[in-house]
Amino acid sequence: MKIKTLVFTLILGLAAAAICLAGDTTAEQGLRDADAAWSKAAESKDLDKTVSYYSADAIVLPPNAPVATTKEAIRRTWQDLLVSPGAVISWKATKVEAAKSGDLGFVSGTYELTMNDASGKPINDKGKYVEVWEKQADGKWKCGTDIWNSDLPASASASVEKQ
């Protein structure tokens, strides 16, 4: 009798753990899917779709620029990037986690960006990013905080300006 109770308790515990892990996996897959769709929107230079992934109170921390805390500032940040000559951007998540509560998650990964310099020569940039996502009342994920920075060394002029 004790063995049957022990086996039943063990099976019940494993089932509960599987349900919990499946919930986390579902949330993490939702975050991964949202992030991939967002990258595709930016890659296609669809400004409206790109900025639609932000929550109403989002903050964006672009490299070498002031923080963007309003919808207009976020839109300008992306518009400046997407209309740059030769601009090609994409990113890919390498780590995705969701809070046990199911209402917050974070995505980190790498990006690739190509833009033309003043002479028209393509400049290739690679870097990393972190996004904090918030689950909305309608069940959709929106990015509440977004930051990215380059793996390339700072230019000599940028180093001089900081001194």
Q: What is the pLDDT of residues 95-138, one digit of tens each?
A: 999 999 999 999 999 999 999 998 999 999 999 999 999 999 99
Rounded CA separation 160/82 (Å)? 28
CATH of the domain at 142: 3.10.450.50
Q: Which residues contact 84 (CB under 8 A, 6 or more apart)?
A: 115, 116
Least confident residue range of 3-7, 58-62, 69-73, 141-145: 3-7
Q: Which residue has the tokens 């518009």?
A: 79
The pair of structure tokens assigned to 129 is 């990013």
Other CB atoms closer than 10 Å to residue 124's CB: what's the count?
A: 10
Q: Provide the residue range defining the domain that includes 123.
A: 2-162
- Taking 60 as the threshold, does the pLDDT of residue 4 lie above it? no
**φ, ψ of residue 87 in degrees (nearest 5):** -65, 125
Report whether 36 contacts 133 (CB < 8 A): no
Our count of domains for the chain comes to 1
Q: pLDDT averaged over the chain? A: 86
Q: Which residues contact 25 (CB under 8 A, 6 or more apart)?
A: none
